């Protein structure tokens, strides 16, 4: 049971403080107390405490006073199941946005207005969406651990991020980009634009998985660039494990790559040998080549889009493109690259028209 005590009567020397004290014993029979200015607030709190104790859902009210930053940091460290890319994304959202924004705010002081203020802040739209979703997820776990009674961000509507349409290069643009790329990385760039492998898949490609006699690349692992030194790890998804056919004209370049620029562990290496460090490669070699080719802002990942564009121009079936990219479903492929197939619906219309004409001629 809990009781409400008038401190001004029971403790005359406390007349300058809050008047009403709620006193109770927790589940370990330790004495607890919390002061309130108004008796009505104290009575409500007393009822809540008694209800929680009777149902076995009691938690020390002081638990909710833990700073969000302290709880979020511990929470993040416990998320060992996250994919490397997700972990890097969450780490950036925490360090750059959530901790500076609400790190010192107590869990029980976070409100819906906190979420709205975060949405109104000067953050890039994509990171704003990630940050609010991450904060909501962290608070969901705080509710599950009964540190706070409910998630104040539950009702916040997060605007959907509208990704920009994938850019792709023409063959002339690709040739110009390769020409401006350091010779050590030219085959890497061309392979990315033709084979459609992800950056980590290319960086982590082992010579034993490149069979030029069969003309195939076995994609079975990727290079993790979020650790030092970089090391191989699992692919993005189970569907990413695949075998990709190599066009005949690329085989000669890859043969030269193996003879002149590869190591025993990596098909594509850093200039000094060993695995490619993503940040170093992008800063020292990719950005200068891209800018010199007049392709400011073009990202290495968009070479994968270029591979899709080339496959579409070669009349490849959408299912074949899906398998080549390692997508888990055809819907992912079509949602991402459907706009690159402007003639698809016209092809359907023309086929239907031929059926109608044939039927009419037989009538």
Q: Which CATH architecture does the domain made up of 66-144 adopt? A: Orthogonal Bundle (1.10)
Helix pair 302-313, 318-325: axis angle to 10 deg: 150
C-alpha atoms less than 13 angstroms from C-alpha of 161 in its C-beta half-sphere: 15
Tell me if 195 sits within 8 A of 205, measured CB to CB. no
Give domain limits for the chain. Answer: 2-58, 66-144, 171-340
pTM greater than the 0.85 cutoff: no
CA-to-CA separations, 48 to 57, 62, 154, 212, in angstroms, rounded: 10, 15, 22, 71
Tell me if 207 sits within 8 A of 262, measured CB to CB. yes
One pLDDT digit (tens) per residue for the chain, 363 residues: 788 888 888 887 777 788 888 888 877 777 888 888 899 998 998 888 888 778 776 676 677 888 999 999 999 999 888 877 788 889 999 999 999 999 999 998 999 999 999 988 888 888 888 999 999 999 999 988 778 888 999 888 887 766 667 788 999 999 999 999 999 999 999 999 999 999 999 999 999 999 999 999 999 999 887 667 788 888 877 888 999 999 998 999 999 999 999 999 999 999 998 999 988 999 999 999 999 999 998 999 999 888 888 888 777 777 888 888 887 777 766 666 666 665 555 555 665 667 666 766 776
Q: Which CATH architecture does the domain made up of 171-340 adopt? A: Orthogonal Bundle (1.10)
């Amino acid at each position: 049971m809990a009781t409400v005590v008038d401190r001004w009567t029971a403790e005359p020397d406390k007349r300058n403080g809050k008047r009403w004290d709620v006193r109770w014993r927790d589940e370990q029979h330790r004495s607890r107390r919390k002061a309130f200015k108004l008796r009505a607030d104290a009575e409500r709190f007393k009822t809540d405490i008694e209800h929680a104790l009777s149902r076995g859902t009691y938690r020390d009210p002081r638990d909710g006073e833990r700073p969000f930053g302290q709880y979020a940091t511990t929470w993040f460290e416990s998320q060992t199941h996250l994919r490397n890319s997700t972990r890097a994304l969450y780490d950036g959202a925490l360090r750059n946005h959530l901790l500076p924004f609400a790190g010192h705010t107590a869990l029980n002081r976070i409100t819906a207005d906190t979420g709205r203020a975060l949405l109104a802040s000067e953050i890039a739209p994509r990171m704003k969406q990630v940050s609010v979703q991450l904060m909501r997820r962290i608070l969901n776990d705080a509710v599950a651990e009964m540190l706070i009674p409910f998630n104040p961000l539950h009702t916040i509507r997060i605007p959907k991020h509208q990704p920009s349409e994938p850019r792709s290069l023409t063959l002339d643009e690709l040739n110009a980009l390769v020409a401006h790329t350091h010779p050590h990385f030219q085959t890497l760039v061309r392979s990315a634009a033709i084979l459609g492998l992800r950056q980590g898949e290319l960086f982590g490609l082992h010579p034993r998985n490149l069979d030029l006699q069969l003309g195939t690349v076995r994609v079975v692992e990727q290079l993790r660039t979020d650790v030092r030194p970089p090391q191989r790890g699992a692919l993005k998804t189970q569907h990413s494990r695949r075998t990709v056919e190599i066009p005949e004209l690329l085989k000669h370049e890859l043969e030269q790559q193996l003879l002149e620029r590869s190591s025993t562990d990596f098909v594509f290496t850093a200039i000094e040998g060993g695995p490619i460090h993503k940040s170093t490669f992008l800063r020292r070699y990719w950005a200068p080549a891209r800018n010199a080719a007049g392709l400011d802002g073009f990202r290495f990942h968009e070479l994968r889009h270029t591979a899709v564009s080339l496959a579409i121009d070669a009349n490849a079936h959408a299912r074949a493109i899906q398998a080549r990219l390692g997508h888990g479903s055809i819907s992912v492929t079509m949602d991402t690259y459907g706009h690159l197939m402007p003639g698809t619906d016209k092809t359907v219309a023309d086929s239907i028209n031929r059926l109608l004409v044939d039927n009419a001629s037989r009538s």
